Structure formats: structure tokens, C-alpha cells
Structure 1
Amino acid sequence: MSAITTDRDRFIVIEDWLLTAASDAQQARWDWGEGGLALLRCGDLFTAIRLPGDSVRAAASSSDPVEVSTYLTEVLDGGPVIASRSRYYALVPPSTGVVWQHPDAECLTWGTWLGVPPVTRTTCEGSLQYWAVPMSSPGKLCDVDAVSQLVRLARQLLSGQEAGDGS
């Protein structure tokens, strides 16, 4: 029973941290309670790298959401990633927008709003957006270099597939 309490407490702490990026924390919490997305502003606590789904699936060598999540957990060292139908969003430190230079993956800079699912939504079943890699603790974000390596790998793999298709 203590593990349940610990998980619940962890979720609450993570929610509270994320909600400091909302313009209206009460509304965002209500949206989560109704199963919706909370709009959180990028740039203060975190920002996000928007990764094309086909790129992530190519790097993971799988289109199975569970296998992709496992892959992302490994290569991003447990850093949080939100998944949608066609994209993944790796949460990274807010300063990333200053240095990010990959045209294949956009950095959502300060002031951009991101739809964030409830922290407890960790499967794609019946969800348009979910945590492919859940946030483990407040402030624990993806390493920018690891995300950059993922983008480069995906680009190489997709370029090789395209070259192989034309032969």
C-alpha cells in the first residue's frame, strides 16, 4: 500500500510542478480531471522538441507504441516524452531553444503552448496524447545531446530507406 501512496504523491508533486507553466492552474487541473490536455507554456520550466513520429519509429525500428516507449526510455535515459498520433515531444531544458539547430525536429521556444496529458496517462489505449516516457520527478528532463543523437540517427535511417527504395 505504501507504493501506491508513493506513486500518488509523486504524481501530485509532478502535476504541481508542471502546473506552474499554466496560465490558469485551476483550469489546467480541471482539464486533466476531465481527461483532457492542459495547455502549458514552454520556455520557463521546460521546452519541447517536436519529433516526427516516422523518425522516432524508424530509430526504434518499430511502430509498436510499447516498443517505441521502451526504446525512448533507454536512449533518452528516462527523460519525459509525450506522444501523439503523429509526433513525439521530448521535454528538455528551457535554454535548448537558444542552441537547437536540427531542421528535422522543431524546438518549441518560449511562449509556445503545449497540450500536456495527465501525468497518469501512460498508454496509448483510447488516448490521442499520452506520456510515452512518464516524467519521473519534477525537473527531470531529457538530455539535449541524447535528443540530438536520436534526431541524427533517425535522419540517417530514413535517408537510407529512401535511397534503398529508389534503387
Structure 2
Amino acid sequence: MVQDWLLAAAPDVQQARWEWSEGGLTFLRCGELLTAIRLPGDLVRTAAASSDPTEVGTYLAEVLDGPVIASRGRYYPLVLPSAGVAWQHPDAECLARGTWLGVPPVTETNCQNPLGYWAVPMRRPGELCDANAVLHLVQLAQHRLSGQEAGDGN
């Protein structure tokens, strides 16, 4: 079960279950079971060529093929902890070992939730995004942004 797998990264499983039962976020440790790459929302929306949260979620599901949390205007694809060792990109930070990630209940997929939601839900325990796919998304967005900027002066 996905919830149980995620809770293995919680410092206090009972507290985490309670926080989720109340509809809130719980904080999971990054760096052992999973980590996340923090992506600015405008970067993701540029790559997806849409500002509609449902369309962005569909796009992310197709290109990342793994779970993504959306919270406070940012997107957090979940990746293997080993991604943090080699990841270096100025526009997208990989959350290092020892940092914490606010994670909504696994059933929270409502994009209207101000705390956060699963833009792409985790389908199976241990299913994570490929960090190379995340990097490709960032590079695509940068390419699109540079094209727009170049076209602004004409």
C-alpha cells in the first residue's frame, strides 16, 4: 500500500497518520526512501504549455511517469534519493538528505487544496520519477522560455 510505504519516511508514523486523517500535510524525511526535486510552477507550466492544473497534471503524468506533489505554486516530482548526489541545476533544487517534504494524504488530488495535492498520484509503493526525465522537463521549459524571450524583441 502506497500510504504505508510513504510512512516509512515519517519520524512518527502515528502522528503522520493523524495529520493525514485530519486532511493536513505530514512531513517526510528526504534522502533515505525518496527525495524530491523542487520545480517552480512557472517552469512546469511553460513545459506543459498550460496553466490549467488538470492539464499540467496530465502532462506531468505522461513525461515523468511517476508521482508529483503540487504545493504553494511549486511541483515536487518524487525521485530516488541517489538523485541528490549528482543533481545540480540552478532552476530546480533537489531536496538533500535531512530535509523535509510536506506530503498531503495519498487521496488528496484536488487542485483547489491550498496546502498541497498529488498532481500525479503514486500508483504503487516505491514508484518514483526518473531524475533524467525531470531534468529533460526543466531543459524543455528553459528552451521554450528562451524562445519566448527572443521573440519578445521582434
3-state SS in 2 of match to 1:102? coil
Verify the 8 A CA contact 2:67 2:78 in the aligned structure 1. Answer: yes
Within the candidate set 91, 106, 114, 2:101 is matched to 114
- How far residue 163 of structure 1 moved from its aligned partner, in angstroms, is 2.5
What are structure 2's unaligned runs of at least 5 residues?
A: none
For 1:166 and 1:112, locate their aligned partners in 2 and report how far apart those are by CA, in whole Å: 42
Please report the RMSD computed on the Cα atoms of aligned residues, expressed in angstroms: 1.0
Over 3 Å counting, the alpha-carbon distance change for 1:71 and 1:87 in structure 2 is: same
Q: Which runs of 4+ in 1 moved over 6 A?
A: none
Q: Is 1:151 equivalent to 2:138 in the alignment?
A: yes
Verify the 8 A CA contact 2:67 2:127 in the aligned structure 1. Answer: yes
What are structure 1's unaligned runs of at least 5 residues?
A: 1-12
Within the candidate set 62, 69, 76, 1:82 is matched to 69
2:52 corresponds to: 64
For 2:53 and 2:3, locate their aligned partners in 1 and report how far apart those are by CA, in whole Å: 24
Q: Is 1:16 equivalent to 2:4 in the alignment?
A: yes
Within the candidate set 58, 75, 89, 1:102 is matched to 89
How many residues matched? 154
- How far residue 84 of structure 1 moved from its aligned partner, in angstroms, is 1.5
1:125 corresponds to: 112
- How far residue 89 of structure 1 moved from its aligned partner, in angstroms, is 0.1
- How far residue 102 of structure 1 moved from its aligned partner, in angstroms, is 1.3
Verify the 8 A CA contact 2:47 2:140 in the aligned structure 1. Answer: yes
For 2:125 and 2:90, locate their aligned partners in 1 and report how far apart those are by CA, in whole Å: 29
3-state SS in 1 of match to 2:127? coil
For 1:128 and 1:163, locate their aligned partners in 2 and report how far apart those are by CA, in whole Å: 36
Verify the 8 A CA contact 2:67 2:121 in the aligned structure 1. Answer: yes
For 1:128 and 1:36, locate their aligned partners in 2 and report how far apart those are by CA, in whole Å: 7
Q: Percent identity, aligned pairs only?
A: 72
For 1:126 and 1:96, locate their aligned partners in 2 and report how far apart those are by CA, in whole Å: 28
Q: Is 1:55 equivalent to 2:71 in the alignment?
A: no
Higher mean alpha-carbon deviation, 109-118 vs 126-135, is at: 126-135
Verify the 8 A CA contact 2:72 2:114 in the aligned structure 1. Answer: no
1:142 corresponds to: 129
Q: What TM-score do the two structures reach when normalised by structure 1? A: 0.89
3-state SS in 2 of match to 1:88? strand
Question: Relative to total residues, which structure has the larger helix share, 1 or 2?
Answer: 1
3-state SS in 1 of match to 2:23? coil
- How far residue 24 of structure 1 moved from its aligned partner, in angstroms, is 0.7
